[in-house]
Amino acid sequence: MIATPAEIDTLKKPVHILHLEDSAADHELASLVLRRARLPHRIQQVDTLEGLLAALQEVPFDIVLADYRLRGFTAIDAWNLARPLPACPPFVLLSGAIGEAAAVDAMHLGFSDYLLKDDVARLPRVIARAIEMAESRHAREQAMAELAASEQRLADLAEHLQTSLEEERAAIAREIHDDVGGALTAARFDLAWISRHGSDAQLLSHAQSASEMLQHALGASQRIMMNLRPPVLDQGLLAAVQWLVQTFERRTRIAARMSTDQEFFALAPALQLVAYRTVQEALTNIQKYAQASHVRVELSEHDGSLLLEVGDDGVGIAPAALAKHTSFGLRGLRERARRAGGWLDVSSQQGRGTTIILSLPTAAARENTTGDTAP
């Protein structure tokens, strides 16, 4: 069956064909069929592996027609030689000496199609279909590569924004500690002096009220500073998480406990911050939405990974809520875990609570992964 005009029209330019064939008569027959089908083309014949490789490296071809069995090698050898090339064209078997099993094996290896020489009249249609499939595959691969690159750029941007946010938090915390905290403390000392040396009852009453307000402001500034960048992190992850749990229990009156199987985790400072923010975000969500009566936070180490688990007995999260594209909190936690070389999982059943599990590589695991050794 000869290719129809519509199929030929899909080929927007002359087809550049490399014909791997050691029979001049068979090469001429293929050329004749293509001319009769009025398929715009240029065809070049080679009959050795060296000639094939040289031709493919010299100019781009749209397709390779390959006889199965040639002098000293097969089309499979030619395919294995050409496949690693940056722009390997699709291969089509055009042979009279091939069984069905061999043809199927060739297709599994990556050949686009096969055609018996007895049915060579179908060659234009087979060529058009192979080129169309190759172009579709290339377009799909290019789209996937562009999508992956776009996702990587978004991930890099998210990481940059998160790093900038943490730096800004640390800077604001320092300013609160150095400037605001210092000014409030100095004002409190002045009010204390007025209270000690003043004699007017009304003045002393105002001084006492102002001192109480200053004490409240100092407490608020300390809470804000701790939320921005807690100094307790300098004492290690366990101390920081314990402070979070205790503060959460005091603030919410929800029973919360922390348990761990060891006293120290060899975790890089950046990863400690990831774990800390995970606990902080989880406890914030529990306070806002969970309606829980008990919360547990567990820290352990297994197979070179820190495992952090935060669970509650609250109302749970509906599957639709977990899948919402606006779930930036959990989505952000997952992304931070992934960028840190770990993972985060959220499991929830409505009416039976929610559990968040974070896994991060410890210092020893990261050294084994990168091939570093301790000094």
Each residue of 175-215: pLDDT tens digit?
777 778 788 888 888 888 888 888 888 888 888 888 888 88
- pLDDT range class, residue 52, cuts 50, 70, 90: very high
Of the pLDDT bands very low, low, confident and very high (cuts 50, 70, 90), residue 64 is very high
Residue 32: the pLDDT is: 94
Residues 303 and 336: beta-carbon distance below 8 Å: no
What is the predicted pLDDT for the residue at 325?
A: 54
Residue 159 has a CB neighbour count (10 Å cut-off) of 15
> Are residue 50 and residue 111 in the same domain, yes or no?
yes
Does the pLDDT of residue 370 top 50, yes or no? no
> Does residue 28 lie in a domain region?
yes
Tens of pLDDT, residues 305-350? 999 999 999 999 877 776 665 556 788 888 889 888 999 999 998 8
Number of domains the chain contains? 3
Residue ending a domain, among 83, 108, 141, is 141
Regarding whether 55 and 185 lie in a shared domain, the answer is no
CA atoms within 13 A on the CB side of 251: 12
Identify the sign of the CA torsion 349, 351, 352, 358: positive
Task: Tell me how many degrees the CA angle 360-366-369 measures, rounded to the nearest 5.
Answer: 120
Q: Is residue 375 part of a domain?
A: no
pLDDT of 55: 94
Written as six digits, the tokens of 27 are 């090469």
| Mean pLDDT, the chain, whole residue set | 85
214 and 265 both lie in a single domain: no
- Domain co-membership, 168 together with 204: yes
Q: Which of 25-34, 91-100, 153-162, 275-284 has the lowest mean pLDDT?
A: 153-162
> What is the band of 2 on the pLDDT scale with cuts at 50, 70, 90?
very low
Q: What is the pLDDT of residues 249-301, one digit of tens each?
A: 999 999 999 999 888 888 888 899 899 989 999 999 999 999 999 999 999 99
pLDDT at 147 over 60: yes
Confidence (pLDDT) at 265 = 84
Q: In what order do the strands lie in the sheet with 255-260?
A: 255-260, 294-302, 305-312, 354-361, 343-348
Q: Residue 348: enclosing H or E segment and its boundaries?
A: strand 343-348
Around 168, how many Cα atoms within 13 Å sit in the side-chain half-sphere? 6
DSSP string of 232-282, one letter each residue: GGGG-HHHHHHHHHHHHHHHH--EEEEEES-S-----HHHHHHHHHHHHHH
Within a domain: residue 154?
no
Top-ranked range on mean pLDDT: pick from 31-45, 216-230, 265-279, 353-367: 31-45
Residue 3 has pLDDT above 50, yes or no: no
Rounded distance, CA 185 to CA 222, Å?
A: 12
Instruction: Mark whether 57 and 93 lie in a shared domain.
Output: yes
Range of the domain at 84: 5-141
| Residue 92, pLDDT above cutoff 90 | yes
Q: How confident is the model at residue 46 (pLDDT cuts 50, 70, 90)?
A: very high
Co-location of 179 and 281 in the same domain: no
**pLDDT band per the 50, 70, 90 thresholds, residue 369:** very low
Q: Are residues 309 and 224 in the same domain?
A: no
Identify the domain boundary among 141, 169, 199.
141
For residues 213 and 270, state if they share a domain. Answer: no
Of 87, 106, 141, which marks where a domain is finished? 141
> What's residue 323's pLDDT?
63
> Tokens standing for 141?
């691969």
pLDDT value, residue 114: 87
We report the CATH number of the domain holding residue 335 as 3.30.565.10
Determine the pLDDT at residue 372.
Answer: 42
112 domain residue, yes or no: yes
Is 202 found in the same domain as 80? no
Tens-place pLDDT, residues 214-233:
888 888 887 787 777 777 77
Please give the C-alpha separations between residue 59 and each of 62, 87, 111, 183, in angstroms, as whole numbers: 10, 10, 21, 76
pTM: 0.54
Q: Are residues 133 and 174 in the same domain?
A: no
